[in-house]
Amino acid sequence: MKVAVVGSGQLARMMALSAWPMGIQFSYLVQQGDSLDPITSLGDVIYDEDYPEAEALYKALGEPDVITVEKEAVDTDRLKALQAFCPVYPDPKMLETCRHRGLEKSWVNEQGVDVAPYRRTGNRQEILAALEEIGYPAILKTCTGGYDGYGQWRIKSADDAAALEEDVCNLDCVLEGFVTFKREVSMIAVRNAEGESRFYPLTENLHRDGTLLTSKAPAPNLTAELQQQAEEIANKLLAASNYVGILAIEFFVTDLDGKEHLVVNEMAPRVHNSGHWTQLGCISSQFNNHVRAITGLPLGNTQAMKITGMVNLLGVEMDNSVLVNSDQQLHGYGKSLRPGRKMGHINLVADSYEDLDAQINATLAKVYPEG
Ligand code: AMP
């Protein structure tokens, strides 16, 4: 069995590492200038620019059984051309929906699922009109290209709105109302081509400057009702897009008439940082289940075996000395150091949520001594 992955980052790396024991081979479709460090020695690397014809590209990739992606920013026309030779999962149409915040929100809404109140904007007048309707505070987000807090502007007042630069105002954006949330959680769901789905327990996520810092799973105080609400939403979105592979859905947990209510923040049509804990906490990690789903293998167990946590290593060198105890697991991505760059993560298991918090705090203190 051969899988070709579009991209060469840590998600491609961890996909390959989890599927190698199952005898699955990998190749990678990259662009000139992409960093290849995470996938060194993990399979053939093919440069997109070298093969303008889809058939030649398919052959160069090793005639894979299936093609998948590790990121949203991909050339979907190219993927559609490759569909003539093998399945591409998730479907390129879903990638197009998810990589554009405006399309994504309207599609999620069409499925009867709540998103934050929003308006599409493309100039200052439209932003001001949207603020009239939605009110302050609000967040302006670029429809494409923004990630991990980039391409976002918080607007707390009319002064903030007036201070927005003209270039920013003219971008294709969504203006989103600020959601008062109790916490942020995410659902990692998997579906195969036969339509069978499985769900990991909801994960609680903490972000710093718009980037994920820690995850806890199953989310503390997770009720059966909230898990069910998330699974129902995931089921709707998976079925409506005839999805194959892992889909990550990020939610705000809000209060609606005294009950926990999920509002979709965004989706990622791929394995996701908030699912990294599954490498230690579950029999089948999200990476393993993604490969199982796209290659037609039976789906693996998604139950959490223990209380699990994850701490991201952002802009810090990898070093085993940061591990707080011998049960912790360090994952490095093989990348060179840059400020804020995702360099790796630590997975840890705990006997109780008190123990989990203590371990996460001790790990954070060691990894980020300056706070
Ligand atoms: P995003 O890139 O859209 O996932 O945003 C990054 C982070 O900013 C989220 O995880 C939230 O912590 C925060 N955020 C984004 N949008 C909103 C919103 N509409 N209301 C409140 N917080 C938000």
Domain presence at residue 107: no
Domain presence at residue 96: no
- CATH code: domain of residue 164: 3.30.1490.20
- CATH code: domain of residue 13: 3.40.50.20
- Packing angle between helix 10-19 and helix 286-295, nearest 10 degrees? 70
Kindly state the tokens that stand for 265: 């923040």
Q: Are 156 and 189 within one domain?
A: no
Comparing 66-75, 245-254, 323-332, which segment has the lowest mean pLDDT? 323-332
Phi then psi dihedrals of residue 200, to 5 deg: -85, 160
Give residue 66's pLDDT: 98
How far are the Cα atoms of 2, 120, 287 from residue 86, in angstroms, in the given order? 11, 36, 21
CB atoms within 10 A of CB 348: 25
What DSSP designation does 202 have?
A: P
- Which atom of ligand 1 is closest in space to residue 250's alpha carbon? 4
Inter-residue contact 90 to 241 (CB < 8 Å): yes
Q: What does pLDDT average to over the chain?
A: 96
How far away, in angstroms, is 127 Cα from ligand 1 center?
18
Using 50, 70 and 90 to split pLDDT, how confident is the model at 322? Answer: confident
Give residue 173's pLDDT: 97
Given 153, 177, 201, the domain boundary residue is 177
Instruction: Name the β-bridge partners of 28.
Output: 5, 45
Using 50, 70 and 90 to split pLDDT, how confident is the model at 363? Answer: very high
Q: Are 220 and 353 within one domain?
A: yes
How far away, in angstroms, is 291 Cα from ligand 1 center?
29
In 3-state terms the chain splits into helix, strand, coil percentages (rounded to 5) of: 35, 30, 40
Q: Which residue has the tokens 């554009």?
A: 100
Q: Are 149 and 261 within one domain?
A: no
Give residue 298's pLDDT: 97
Kindly state the tokens that stand for 201: 């327990």
Q: Are 43 and 152 within one domain?
A: no
Q: Are 66 and 172 within one domain?
A: no
The model's pLDDT over 16-57, given as tens digits with 9 standing for 90+, comes to 999 999 999 999 999 999 999 999 999 999 999 999 999 999
Q: Are 305 and 222 within one domain?
A: yes
Q: What average pLDDT does range 186-192 have in this prediction?
A: 98
Alpha helices, DSSP H, located in the chain: 10-19, 54-60, 76-82, 92-98, 101-110, 124-134, 158-163, 166-169, 224-240, 278-281, 286-295, 353-367
Given 177, 206, 221, the domain boundary residue is 177
**What residues make up the domain containing 39?**
2-88
The model's pLDDT over 249-300, given as tens digits with 9 standing for 90+, comes to 999 999 999 999 999 999 999 999 999 999 999 999 999 999 999 999 999 9
Query: In the predicted model, is pLDDT for residue 201 greater than 70?
Result: yes
Cα 251–342–365 angle (5° rounding)?
Answer: 85
pTM value is 0.96
How far away, in angstroms, is 149 Cα from ligand 1 center?
8
**Count of CA atoms in the C-beta half-sphere (13 A) of 357:** 5
The model's pLDDT over 153-175, given as tens digits with 9 standing for 90+, comes to 999 999 999 999 999 999 999 99
- Which atom of ligand 1 is closest in space to residue 176's alpha carbon? 19
Domain presence at residue 270: yes
CA distance 324 to 154: 36
How far away, in angstroms, is 176 Cα from ligand 1 center?
9
Using 50, 70 and 90 to split pLDDT, how confident is the model at 307? Answer: very high
Comparing 111-120, 220-229, 317-326, which segment has the lowest mean pLDDT? 317-326
Domain presence at residue 298: yes
Q: What average pLDDT does range 86-109 have in this prediction?
A: 97
Using 50, 70 and 90 to split pLDDT, how confident is the model at 202? Answer: very high
Q: Are 137 and 283 within one domain?
A: no
Query: In the predicted model, is pLDDT for residue 9 greater than 70?
Result: yes
Instruction: Name the β-bridge partners of 170.
Output: none
Q: Are 131 and 20 within one domain?
A: no
- Which atom of ligand 1 is closest in space to residue 179's alpha carbon? 20
Q: Which residue has the tokens 């979907």?
A: 76
Inter-residue contact 302 to 198 (CB < 8 Å): yes
Q: Are 234 and 172 within one domain?
A: no
Give residue 146's pLDDT: 72
Q: Are 60 and 193 within one domain?
A: no
Nearest to 200 by CA among 282, 263, 272: 282
Comparing 19-33, 42-56, 95-109, 136-150, which segment has the lowest mean pLDDT? 136-150
The tally of domains found in the chain comes to 3
- CATH code: domain of residue 239: 3.30.470.20
Cα 180–186–192 angle (5° rounding)?
Answer: 145
Using 50, 70 and 90 to split pLDDT, how confident is the model at 210? Answer: confident
Query: In the predicted model, is pLDDT for residue 147 greater than 70?
Result: no
Query: In the predicted model, is pLDDT for residue 149 greater than 70?
Result: no
- Binding-site residues, ligand 1, Cβ < 6 A: 116, 139, 149, 176, 178-179, 184, 207, 210, 250, 265-266
How far away, in angstroms, is 210 Cα from ligand 1 center?
7
How far away, in angstroms, is 130 Cα from ligand 1 center?
18
- If one residue of 143, 214, 265 were mutated to test the ligand 1 pocket, choosing by the most ligand atoms within 8 A of its CB, it would be 265
One-letter amino acid for residue 286 of the chain: Q
Q: What average pLDDT does range 119-132 have in this prediction?
A: 97
Q: Are 171 and 227 within one domain?
A: no
Q: Are 132 and 267 within one domain?
A: no
